[in-house]
Each structure stands twice: as structure tokens, then as C-alpha cells.
Structure 1
């Protein structure tokens, strides 16, 4: 897929800027945290798909699997390690200024790791060519965004995942709908 208008619009709105703007919208932060903590969703990948959706694009499943594995390794080895350390220090930071400062440093490092991850997702998308077909035009209607995100992020349907409690499925779906409700309608290419 070579749609220079869509790719040009991706270049004009960096993924990091898009992620910050979306994350600041009502309910998005909580939805992302719910999806991360209860459903194991990589929020950077989630934001990446939302960014593509905004420009009428989607990642092709084959090429996506390769970059997903690479980016997931980063998330697990770098970002999640920093997050775990930061969260582990939270109780002690409440009454120890030195630990509070350390926790703030870890939080900053975690944010930098997420930014680097998003930049790598963006580089991958912008490196798309007809030959590798990383991106395709998206035909997702605004009414189906939550379902599309669910299908893109989860390898099995939520209803068939026996490990997930019914209440967890409900919270996961609610988080997907909350996030989808904050995405602007996809612009038609000119």
C-alpha cells in the first residue's frame, strides 16, 4: 500500500504527540491502565494502532507479528522492569524522601522507555513500502473501533479466553469502548 497522503499525515503528527494528546482525553488514561494491568495489553502498541486508525490505516497482520514480538521484548525487558520497580517502591516512598526521589527518577525513565518504544513503532510504520506491505488502508467504521482494537490486540476473542474472569472481560470491553469513544472520526483521504 502506498498512499502518500496518509503516510505524509503520519509524518506530520508524530506518534508521541498523538499519544500524549489521546492519553489526556477523559477516561483514556484509566482505560489504558485497565487494559495494561488487567488484560496485559501493551499500551504503546494500543496507541500505535489508534494513531494509524486516525489516518485511515491499519497494520497488516503478517508484518505486525514481527514488530510486535520485537516491541514486546522491549516492553518486558525495559519498560515493565522500570514500572515494577517504581510500583514496588510506592509504599516506602510515602515516608522516605530519598526513596520518593528514586521513584520519581524511575518514573521518568519509564516514560523515556515508552517514548523510545513509540518512536520505534513510528519508524516501522513510516518505513512501509509496497514491497513489505506493512500498512493497509483501513475500512473500520467509527462504530466498530472497539471491536477492531479488541481483534487486533488479542489473539483469541475475550469470550473464549477461559483465564479471564467475566468481570475482567467486562472491564476490558468497557476500557476498549471508552478509548474508542475518544478517537476522532477517521478523515477520508483527499
Structure 2
């Protein structure tokens, strides 16, 4: 694992560890079609003075394919098991195992995103006038008035979050 991918992972865990960020990210994921890993990556890039390039979609194709094939199906299975897990300890243990696998899949997605930054593919230096708000909006397919507060909470937390030490 590269230094950048480790730093991105640590940053993502730290930022997502704030209750308001987790809630905001899940709202943007479930209600606006955003990919949480991409959102956390964009926040991390901004802290480093970088941003997703205007043509980032082509470079994100492999990461998005990974998320579609592995992460989202694991998430769907975990969520589907929630009611049964509340009643059955064996199902609860299975659900926890799926949750661990989902987290591993998300870590792999973040590793792939960090590789893009390392290779300078799909990223560019932030310019005067570039904002985290604008970069995140480009990654959220169906942002609405109802999900705007979630975006604002994510931006506020990301702006206040210190970078983990190297």
C-alpha cells in the first residue's frame, strides 16, 4: 500500500468518524446518488491543493466499476440483513462479516483513488477560485435542495479537519 493511499485512508476514517459527516455522506449517497469514497477523496485532494480534473469521469470508470460490482452489492446485503440480525445472533454475525467485507471494498476503492492522485491522472492543481463546494457538486449526480444541508455539513467538517500526520 502506498503512502498516499494510507494517508487517504487515515484522512477518510478521521473525517467520516464525525457523526455529522457520516450522516451527511450517507444522505448524499442514498438521496443524491453520490459515492462516499469519491466525496472523501475530493475533500482529501482539496486539503493537499489538488482537485478532480474536469475530465475525471474517464479516470473514475474503473473505481466506479469496482464500487458497482463489489461495494454496493455488499452494502445491499448488509442492509437487507438488518431486520433479521436484530432477532438472530447468527444473522447478526453474518451481517458483521459482510460489513467488514464492505469496509475492505471501500478501502480498495480509496486505494484506487489515491493511485489516481499519485499518478496525476484525473487530478489537477487547484486554481484561485476553485472551491471544495464546486468540486463536490460535480461528484453528486442528483443534488437537491433537500440534500444541500448535507453537502454544507460535509464541507464545514472537511474545512475544519486537520490532515493526519505523515
TM class by smaller structure? 0.7 to 0.9
Gaps spanning 5+ residues in structure 2: where? none
Gaps spanning 5+ residues in structure 1: where? 1-9, 159-168
Decide which of 123, 137, 146 is 1:135's aligned counterpart.
Answer: 123
- Shift of residue 124 of structure 1? 1.5
- What CA RMSD, in Å, does the superposition of the two structures yield over aligned residues? 2.5
1:174 has 2:149 as partner:
yes
- Shift of residue 177 of structure 1? 0.4
Higher relative contact order (CA 8 A, sep 6+): 2
Aligned to 1:122, the other structure's residue is in SS state helix
1:75 has 2:76 as partner:
no
Decide which of 52, 56, 59 is 2:49's aligned counterpart.
Answer: 56
Question: What is the TM-score of this pair, normalised by structure 2?
Answer: 0.86
- Output the CA distance in 1 between the equivalents of 2:71 and 2:161: 30
For each residue in 1:2-60, what CA deviation from the matched residue of structure 2 results, as whole angstroms up to 9, or x when unmatched?
xxxxxxxx849711001011112241000000001101101111111111000111121
The list of structure 1 runs, each at least 4 consecutive aligned residues, that deviate by more than 4 angstroms after superposition, is: none
Max Rg structure: 1
In 2 relative to 1, CA 20–186 (structure 1 residues): closer, same or farther, beyond 3 Å? closer
Question: What is the TM-score of this pair, normalised by structure 1?
Answer: 0.76
Instruction: Report how many residues are paired.
Output: 160
Alpha carbons 2:49, 2:126 under 8 Å: kept: yes
Match of 1:14 in 2: 7
